[in-house]
Structure 1
Amino acid sequence: MNDEFYNQGLEKAQQKDYAGAIAEFNRALQLTPHFPEAYLQRGLAYYDSGAIHQAVSDYTEALRLNPESVEAYYCRALARVTLKNLPGALSDVESAIRLNYNYAAAHNLRGMVRRKQGYIQDAIASFKKAAELYLQQKDKENCRLCLEKIKQLQPPEKPVVEQQISTNVPIISTNAYFTQLLEKAEKGDTREAIADLNWVLQADPQDAQAYCCRGVVRCKMGNYREAIADFNQALLLNFQDAVVYRNRGKARSLLGDNQGAIADFNQALQIQPQDALVYVGRGNAYRAMGNYLGAIADYTQALQINPDDAQAYYNRGIAYTFLEEMPSAVADYQRAASIYCEKEDWDNYHQVLNSLQKINKSHPESRHQKYNLLRQRVLRLVGGYWEIAQRLIEQKRDYYPGMTDEWYLQQVIDDLERDRGR
């Protein structure tokens, strides 16, 4: 009867009926409490159903009953990786290797753990051993995957060789590894960067930093919805970093969800209040909503943090043009152009020059000075939202047709100041 419950549990687990499998293993264990294989298999069912702590508990009991169980050590190592207990995972996988040195999957898992800990050369050595064992076992696919991992971790233009250094010294940190991938994307190799990150996530679906990094690359590719999905997953895995909120805010803004973007930028600033990029991003969202004063305030804050931020100058110049504060716009455009010129960023340099030319052609200050001053006063009274000002002006046009633009602006100013008791 005991074997019958145990076999039924195996069958239900194979059918992915994990609750049913757990129930059968429970019955088997009621009849035979000292049944290590039942604990191991119930642990696997718990793991597959997402109950990771229960899985670890069952693997531990299986090891108490059978301290030589290679599979129990390996499975507990996998579960501990999911729980981010990397020292515990390393201890377990090394126990599995001591019991069976030819266990290719254990060497592969050890490489993954060491990579996550930042010991890249040690990770390479483990992946290399796993590849050799997979090759001996004629498992060409897993051998190829291990070789790919080695290639991706190895610094460029350096062959995979044994290093005469201590494996306890991190050669490349995990952060540096992801930085290399982002630099690769920045140079235009976005597809290769995505392929590398897909491998990382295939090896460890719980790597929150990899989701964040892939989201950043997807933003660069213009795949904003997929990027948001990656940022969401990073947050679900408790990767609370300003870069997640900043980049998700950017993606949401580019999809037109400016209110959601502002919420993300606010969250990023709570984590990292001196991040100039967040202020620029929030300024862009405010500007898209027509809140030009709010946008200018954010660009100004960004420039206080980073006075050489050409993009902040350029974006603030755009906001000033909407307010028709042309001298301020021209000054910002000229400063942005100078910075781009110094950096030899010719594409952005010419874009700024084109904006300057448009101002010079379409906004001669002498003709519009009075109108501009009135317009600025209206905008300040409505908090920078030109859409509100336009509605008020149109109401005046309906009541008093045929008057000049300056007259309508003055009437709106008078009404707003009277309502505020000025």
Structure 2
Amino acid sequence: MRESQDEKMNNNAENHPLSIEISLFYRLREENIRLVVVESEEKLRISVKQKAQEGDYSGAIALLDQLIESHPESAIDYNNRGLMYFWQGQFFQAIKDYNQAIELNKKLDQAYNNRANCYMAQGNWAEALTDYETAIDLNPANMKAWLNQGITLRELGLYDLALENFDLTLTISHRLQGRIYAERGYTYYLRGDWNCAIADYHRALSALPLTDKYRAYRQKVQEWLNQLINYSATG
């Protein structure tokens, strides 16, 4: 079957060196634009992290607003903005963002853990425990969820269950080991097992990093330890 005159002309035009060069130019331009956008978003995310570390949560939220406007389907951006609202004490707004993150990605364990923290701050213990359990089911290596679940059980006065939780957490991973020892120690203290508490406080101080991030927490554990030692000395 012969090509028509128009088909021949179209084929010749497509194969013309100038047409190929123009096509390549546009493809390269589109790729460059895409790379610029990706680089810009990466810089935004770095800036979000920096502002969060500096305590400028409003600034971090403003940057996350831009990211969400560009990518309304990004569950992690909603999760991160919710975290900023949580640190500002805006629990209702934080939960709203966590709900949206979970709606977009029902397997995002961080969002369940973070929403549980909001529920815990509001005193909604049952909702918090449910979300911690979901986070752990989705990701058994989510040590923050394990730790927070133990703290919640302790707040409810369920000391034995809290201790079992901390014991199990210590067998899963060495991450957050210092904090787990400290929180287990405080649970022993509340249950009246002072010797076990003192031993765990010592373990915690040995395991906690000597960094600015943990300075305040180390100081709190040291105060817990000193308090018990003083009680023991005067008792």
Per the TM superposition, whether the score is higher than 0.5 is yes
1:100-136: CA deviation from partner (whole Å, max 9, x where unpaired): x9xxxxx9xx97xx5xxxxxx34269xxxxxxxxxxx
RMSD: 2.8
The structure 1 segments of at least 4 consecutive aligned residues displaced by more than 4 Å after TM superposition are 177-180
Partner of 2:184: 316
1:352-403: CA deviation from partner (whole Å, max 9, x where unpaired): 11111221233569x6xxxxxxxxxxxxxxxxxxxxxxxxxxxxxxxxxxxx
Q: 2:219 aligns with which of 350, 361, 375?
A: 350
SS in 2 for 1:263: helix
Mapping of 1:93-132 within 5 angstroms?
A: 114=34, 121-123=35-37
Partner of 1:303: 170
- The yes-or-no answer on 1:241 pairing with 2:104 is no
Which of these two proteins has the greater Rg computed from alpha carbons? 1
Q: 1:359 aligns with which of 223, 228, 231?
A: 228
CA distance in 1, matches of 2:77, 2:58: 15
**Residues 1:154 and 1:247: Cα distance change in structure 2 (over 3 Å):** closer
Unaligned runs of 5+ residues in structure 1 are 1-97, 102-106, 115-120, 126-149, 156-176, 368-422
Q: Residue 245 of structure 1: CA displacement?
A: 0.7
Partner of 2:141: 274
Residues 47 and 60 in structure 2, CA contact (< 8 A), matched pair in contact too: no
Q: Residue 183 of structure 1: CA displacement?
A: 5.1
Q: Which has the higher helix share?
A: 2
CA distance in 2, matches of 1:341, 1:199: 35
Q: Residue 239 of structure 1: CA displacement?
A: 4.5
Q: Residue 237 of structure 1: CA displacement?
A: 2.2
1:37-82: CA deviation from partner (whole Å, max 9, x where unpaired): xxxxxxxxxxxxxxxxxxxxxxxxxxxxxxxxxxxxxxxxxxxxxx
Mapping of 1:6-405 within 5 angstroms?
A: 114=34, 121-123=35-37, 150=40, 153=41, 155=43, 178=45, 181-182=48-49, 184-304=51-171, 305-306=173-174, 309-340=177-208, 342-343=210-211, 345-363=214-232
Q: Residue 222 of structure 1: CA displacement?
A: 2.7
**Residues 1:281 and 1:180: Cα distance change in structure 2 (over 3 Å):** farther
Percent identical across equivalent pairs?
24
Residues 209 and 239 in structure 1, CA contact (< 8 A), matched pair in contact too: no
Specify which structure has the bigger relative contact order, considering alpha-carbon pairs within 8 angstroms and separated by 6 or more residues: 2
SS in 1 for 2:208: helix
**Residues 1:178 and 1:281: Cα distance change in structure 2 (over 3 Å):** farther
Q: Residue 213 of structure 1: CA displacement?
A: 1.2
Q: Residue 302 of structure 1: CA displacement?
A: 2.3
Partner of 1:7: none
Partner of 2:20: none
Q: What is the identity, as a one-letter code, of the residue corresponding to 2:160?
A: L
CA distance in 1, matches of 2:92, 2:82: 9
Residues 318 and 329 in structure 1, CA contact (< 8 A), matched pair in contact too: yes
CA distance in 2, matches of 1:187, 1:206: 27
Residues 91 and 118 in structure 2, CA contact (< 8 A), matched pair in contact too: yes
Q: Residue 307 of structure 1: CA displacement?
A: 5.8
Residues 143 and 176 in structure 2, CA contact (< 8 A), matched pair in contact too: no
